[in-house]
Amino acid sequence: MPEEQIIRTEYSDLMKKSYIDYAMSVIIARALPDVRDGLKPVQRRTLYDMHELGIRWDRPYRKCARIVGDTMGKYHPHGDSSIYEALVVMAQDFKKGMVLVDGHGNFGSIEGDGAAAMRYTEARLAKFTQMAFLQDLDKDVINFVPNFDETEKEPEVLPVRVPNLLVNGAEGIAVGMATSIPTHNLGEVIDAVKAYMKNDDISTRQLMKYVKGPDFPTGGIVVNKDDLLNIYETGVGKIKIRGKVEVEDMKGGKQRLVITEIPYTMIGAGIGKFLNDVCALVETKKTGDIVDISNQSSKEGIRIVIELKKGADVKNLTNMLYKKTRLEDTFGVNMLAVADGRPETMGLKKIIEHHVDFQFELATRKYKTLLAKELEKKEIQEGLIKACDVIDLIIEILRGSRSVQDAKACLTQGITENITFKSKISKKMASMLRFTERQADAILQMRLYRLIGLEIDALMKEHEETLANIARYEDILNNYDSMADVIIEELDAFKKEFAVPRKTVVENAEEAVFEEKKIEEQEVVFLMDRFGYARCVDTSTYERNREAADSENKFVLTCLNTGKICIFTDTGKMHQVKVLDVPYGKFRDKGQPIDNMSNFDSTSEEIVYMCDAEQMRFAMLFFATRQGMVKKVAGTEFQVSKRTIAATKLQEGDSLAAVAVINDNQYVVLQTRDGYFLRFPAEEVSEKKKGAVGVRGIRLKKNDELEAAYLFEDGEDPKAVYKEKEVALNRLRIGKRDTQGVKNRG
């Protein structure tokens, strides 16, 4: 056995090389489309496999499971779900500018419903795909490469005749890069390609006379037309799209908004989110003009109906929907594709340039193949015509030959030694024959009926056609204009048969501006019961029901409806909830769980204290933890915009026991679980930042912990209950902070 060879290398270099190899594999072989055919490998392999299986547009549908299995086994050694998802997307007319697969069955919906399992659905190639993507594969127009196990050959790229990268767009996430190309109108893109072929110095601005902008299958309105030139020059930018909103009159002078087209980015779950966002605008009282919303969309198209109150400001409400929901959204453009084996961000002209170069390459290879076949036919035809002129001699050669090899040698080289002739003249004439190998084979295989006069005429006519074809093919191959005319002729044929009118409107629209209804500031009372259900009532309602409100609710706070409520929990967090988010209504209304209005989680946290954020601004807050740590924190530290912050730092295993507003004229009483009470002046509590642990308030015995904290001033008579007995806090001996306190026997 040969000695084991150990290669010493830097670990970081090995990792770097491996990661780069992996990244390039993902970029080139999976995530990004090729600029020539606009397809990712999984799409290319699926379409080619369908072509090989004979699942053409004019033949019966076949089960998708068969297509997926065959593609996976022959060409794409990855999960079947990725192949089926690619197949489904190519069949969805709301995602693709031109569908490439004709699907039969449930292939999902624009509202986000998934396709049925592959065992239920069927598919076949679309006519457009068959004609524009898979023609001429037999004419050596593209290179074939070995598949993953080198048992099959697969096309390196499909001979696509239209700029599919623009027509169908692309979306993909690779390693460190992503592509996002919008769909375009087939007819417009073909016109742009023709314009470039006639003048390759054409500018992007001139190309945009043909390509007005993206043409999304969902329609909609592109509202930043002036930004498109820069986007198409650089290949990067943001396109603003809006849904199409129509106003319909109803009985009684009412109106309703009907959304008939949605932004492309709203496909799928976006529609459901839009409906929820509109409901949220009503619930949070951002608008009072909406009465009802319903989704009446069907196979015929999108129809989302928003019914309005009488006298509603339609324009202002429409602008609110544009601003506050995804009815106006942004499509991020990054026209990244694989060109010449490497990823490249390209503008409109560069993509068309690559496409045209590819078309000339396809046409060159196609017509070279056709020319070779015609030259071969010409050679054979000339041999047969010549043979007809000396047919008697050829028959004599055949009859006098002992083998096919002898006859062929005579026809090609004039060798007559092994052949018996009737006369010396025949032998001399036979020695002068010089047919080519192909001609000799054709003569030997020629049937006698070809000697009929009409057949000879047909042969002459066929020879003339062959000569005409050779002249035409040579002209195409040797003349740029002739080849360009052929390509343009094909493009015109595709445009005539498959082009459809533009769906997306491109314009410069005004910025959506709406006047948010100003909320009348008023004082309200926040109520939350022991089950965590919260609501707000006006102060007069609270005053009428004060006794019931105080006894039935765990927290009762007076605050402004424009303010916030701060929730301190035993985990040391502070959650904020806007008062406007809290349901406002009658005293006996149930309300909503506080969990639904904030980040508070009742399953893992317990509320220690609640207060009005505005009132806290001018206060000092007292904190006490289960391990006996105490501190004072200025209320201004909690004036933050975040919904959740860390209100205090806790030691391991500790939790927050009490929070309260404190002043230096008060006394603090700390009570432990084992009945120790410690009273000391509030001024002994150190002021700290909210991120500090604090100082020790009471010395705890082993396994004891702080249970409660009380604050009171001289002259007050507060009581605490320990083991069902009242303890008069103002009669406790005044001690010092960080001592053990007095044991209450209970």
Distance (Å, whole) CA 697 – CA 670: 8
Measured in residues, the chain has a length of: 746
Structure tokens at 200: 């390759």
Concatenating the DSSP letter of every residue in 497-547 gives HH-----SEE-BPPP----PPPPPP-EEEEEEETTSEEEEEEHHHHHHTHH
Q: What angle do CA 639, 642, 646 make, to 5 degrees?
A: 80
Structure tokens at 213: 């902008």
Q: Residue 555 in contact with residue 527, Cβ under 8 Å?
A: yes
The β-bridge relationship of strands 170-173 and 178-181 is antiparallel
Q: Residue 132 in contact with residue 494, Cβ under 8 Å?
A: yes
Helix, strand, coil percentages, rounded to 5, for the chain: 40, 25, 35
Distant-in-sequence, close-in-space partners of 290: CB < 8 Å, separation ≥ 6: 278, 281, 282, 306, 307, 308, 309, 312, 317
Residue type, 9: T
Looking at residue 266, the DSSP 8-state letter turns out to be G
- The yes-or-no answer on residue 120 being catalytic is yes
3-state SS class at 223 = coil
The C-alpha torsion from 708 through 714 and 716 to 719, rounded to 10°, is 30
649 CB neighbour count, 10 Å cutoff: 18
Chain mean position to CA 313: 35
The β-bridge relationship of strands 62-63 and 122-125 is antiparallel
Nearest C-alpha neighbor of 165 from the set 32, 26, 332: 32
3-state secondary structure 357-369: HHHHHHHHHHHHH
Within 261-402, residue ranges assigned H as helices are 269-283, 314-324, 348-389, 391-400
Q: Residue 472 in contact with residue 367, Cβ under 8 Å?
A: no
What are the distances in angstroms from CA 84 to CA 31, 90, 142, 154? 16, 10, 26, 19
314 CB neighbour count, 10 Å cutoff: 15
Distance (Å, whole) CA 283 – CA 218: 29
What are the distances in angstroms from CA 82 to CA 78, 119, 292, 332? 7, 15, 40, 24
What are the distances in angstroms from CA 219 to CA 102, 112, 214, 278? 21, 17, 10, 21
Catalytic option among 61, 120, 480, 710: 120
Q: Give me the active site residues, please.
A: 120
